[in-house]
Amino acid sequence: MEDILKLQQKIVPELIELLEKRYGILRTIYYNQPIGRRVLANNLGIGERIVRSEINFLKSQNFIEINTPGMTITKDGEEIIDKLKDFIHELKGLSEIEKFIKENLKLRKVLVVPGNLDEDRTIINEIGRAAANYVKEIIKDNSIIAITGGSTIKEVIDNVPKIPNLKDVLVVPARGGMGINVETQANTLVAKLASKIDGKYKLLHVPDNLSDKAMNAMMQEKDIRDVLETVDSADILIYGIGRAENMAKRRNLPQEELNKIEEYGAVGEAFGYYFNKEGEIVYYTPSIGIKNEEIGKIETLIAVAGGKNKAEAIVSTQNNSHNSILVTDEGAAREIMELLK
């Protein structure tokens, strides 16, 4: 299969490009349906004339329908998207990239989806779906699942299907809440995941950033101590990765702390810890939630992040995380390869 693909790329590269283009159009329609032609062209960054031509072809193959609200994917279209996914994966040599990153960062597993989140926002759906499929495979009876918040983790939870017949599964937030967007906060995602797997859940009703005095007072509360003990017993942790400077600003850290984070060479952030290029923790924002010393005891860590601009942050957080599964996209993965080389 791999040899045939390489042969095709050498002899008829234009067919490969056309295949990737049509796959991208189908995928974009699928995640934004119903969608108009002009919006589709803008999302893909290609001309309306080219889009019109491709749309006519896809309609003739019964892959899409065109109605007043816009274009939608047919069942045949959904089937072809699903079948093309693995083909495109091999076509782009992503299996080799997964192997390279896994071996060089000494991770348990690496999953790479085609595309670059920085250029195409629909890729976040693909990342979420890939992570959700992995989560589905590993959840078992009596699992304790800890999750952080964020838009990427929301995509993971949104893509987890209903999983019946699981017994005594518990879902907990890994940290307190951050920001004003309730939809992406850990507590919201915890409740949503628990409902999908017929599990129970506990919530952590505390903000992410607290003064030492306030945090010490909160830690005396029995309900909070109970949740934290459960978090420390988790066997699965699902978390996002951010660029250090971006996450520091989102947490509204004072300028003095922002300067320290830059001075210490922090490039990546995960669950409140800031990592330098060598994977060393150089800064930490105190909060109520999971602690770094407990993370190494967790059986399965699932890190989810995409986009070329996240590559350095991903490497920094995964450098010393040997029991981790990384789910990312092609944009980040190719840049990670360059960094590791």
CATH number of residue 319's parent domain: 3.40.50.1360
For 2, 5, 14, 102, 185, the CA distances from 95, given in Å and listed in that order, are 10, 13, 22, 11, 33
Instruction: Assess whether 69 and 102 both reside in one domain.
Output: no
Instruction: Assess whether 292 and 144 both reside in one domain.
Output: yes
Instruction: Assess whether 97 and 82 both reside in one domain.
Output: no
The residue out of 90, 124, 139 marking a domain boundary is 90
Instruction: Assess whether 195 and 335 both reside in one domain.
Output: yes
Instruction: Assess whether 135 and 232 both reside in one domain.
Output: yes
The residue out of 59, 90, 121 marking a domain boundary is 90
Instruction: Assess whether 230 and 143 both reside in one domain.
Output: yes
Q: Which domain holds residue 238?
A: 93-340
CB-CB contact of 194 with 205 (8 Å): no
Instruction: Assess whether 86 and 99 both reside in one domain.
Output: no
What residues in the chain have per-residue pLDDT under 50?
none
Give the model's pLDDT for residue 212.
65
Number of domains in the chain: 2
CB-CB contact of 300 with 143 (8 Å): no
The structure's pTM equals 0.88
Give the model's pLDDT for residue 145.
96
Give the model's pLDDT for residue 222.
75
The residue out of 34, 62, 90 marking a domain boundary is 90
Instruction: Assess whether 44 and 190 both reside in one domain.
Output: no
Instruction: Assess whether 255 and 207 both reside in one domain.
Output: yes
Beta-ladder partners of 207: 177
Instruction: Assess whether 11 and 128 both reside in one domain.
Output: no
Give the model's pLDDT for residue 207.
67
* CATH number of the domain within which 15 lies: 1.10.10.10
For 42, 126, 137, 195, the CA distances from 37, given in Å and listed in that order, are 9, 22, 37, 37
Beta-ladder partners of 268: 243, 275
Give the model's pLDDT for residue 256.
87
Name the nearest CA neighbour of 283 among 313, 260, 253, 256: 260
Give the model's pLDDT for residue 5.
63
Instruction: Assess whether 171 and 206 both reside in one domain.
Output: yes
Give the model's pLDDT for residue 190.
94
Give the model's pLDDT for residue 322.
76
Instruction: Assess whether 276 and 320 both reside in one domain.
Output: yes
* 249: number of Cβ within 10 Å: 12
Beta-ladder partners of 72: 65
